[in-house]
């Protein structure tokens, strides 16, 4: 079981609404059971991604509380940053139209958790640009943007796992891997050979070969 659990709340994309009744009570009961399950409790950190105007169909009370906290502080012309209760930290990163929340009882500090949420947000924006997100939610506030992420949940999960164990994220650095001199010389000569045949602007920068989170 991984230490993190990334949750992207589901948002209703239909125009109909479920009337209060036995079904709603059943969903509330299921949510309460899930929040009290060992699968949930044993996680040391949870990361939530929701929109400012989302309408969730799971964990409605929990996400509603998060949105209410953000809105309450915003009404006071401020931005919520964190809430600390015992050994739990509730860290918020508001990047309109998205709200990212990390709930953690690890040794990670508040600035570290904010940094992790920033990496998660950047990963989302790398798939969906910030302007595209803004346009989508301007047209439809309860839009379920998960459909446009194209199954990148696994990327987010892997990113969250790396954030806790790889120092490169904390240091803002890239770990280099050694490369045999002969191979490096061959690559250099190949680049020179082909670049000499085309007009390459003097300002062009040739990026190093990336392998996972490493640089060759």
Please tell me the distance from the alpha carbon of residue 140 to that of residue 166, in angstroms, as a whole number: 38
Mean pLDDT of 69-79: 93
Give 8-23 pLDDT, tens digit per residue: 443 332 222 223 334 4
Contact call for residues 97 and 53 (beta carbons, < 8 A): yes
Give 75-107 pLDDT, tens digit per residue: 999 999 999 999 999 999 998 888 999 999 988
What are the boundaries of each domain within the chain?
4-171, 175-215
* Domain at 4-171: CATH code: 3.30.450.70
Residues near 56 by Cβ (< 8 Å), separated by ≥ 6?
Answer: 9, 10, 11, 12, 50, 63, 64
Please tell me the distance from the alpha carbon of residue 39 to that of residue 30, in angstroms, as a whole number: 14
Instruction: Return the minimum-mean-pLDDT range out of 29-43, 81-95, 108-122, 157-171.
Output: 29-43
């Amino acid at each position: 079981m991984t230490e993190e659990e990334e949750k992207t709340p589901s948002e209703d994309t239909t125009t109909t609404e479920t009337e209060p009744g036995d079904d709603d009570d059943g969903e509330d009961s299921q949510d309460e059971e899930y929040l009290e399950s060992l699968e949930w409790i044993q996680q040391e950190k949870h990361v939530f991604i929701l929109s400012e105007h989302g309408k969730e169909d799971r964990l409605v009370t929990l996400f509603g509380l998060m949105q209410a906290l953000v809105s309450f502080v915003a009404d006071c012309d401020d931005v919520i940053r964190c809430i600390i209760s015992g050994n739990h930290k509730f860290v918020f990163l508001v990047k309109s139209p998205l709200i990212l929340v990390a709930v953690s009882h690890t040794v990670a500090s508040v600035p570290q958790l904010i940094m992790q949420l920033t990496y998660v947000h950047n990963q989302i924006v790398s798939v969906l640009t910030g302007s595209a997100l803004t346009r989508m939610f301007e047209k439809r506030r309860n839009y379920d943007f998960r459909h446009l992420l194209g199954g990148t949940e696994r990327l987010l999960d892997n990113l969250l796992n790396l954030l806790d164990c790889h120092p490169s994220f904390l240091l803002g650095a890239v770990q280099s891997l050694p490369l045999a001199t002969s191979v490096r010389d061959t690559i250099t000569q190949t680049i020179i050979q082909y670049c000499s045949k085309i007009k390459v602007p003097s300002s062009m920068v040739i990026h190093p070969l990336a392998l996972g989170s490493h640089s060759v």
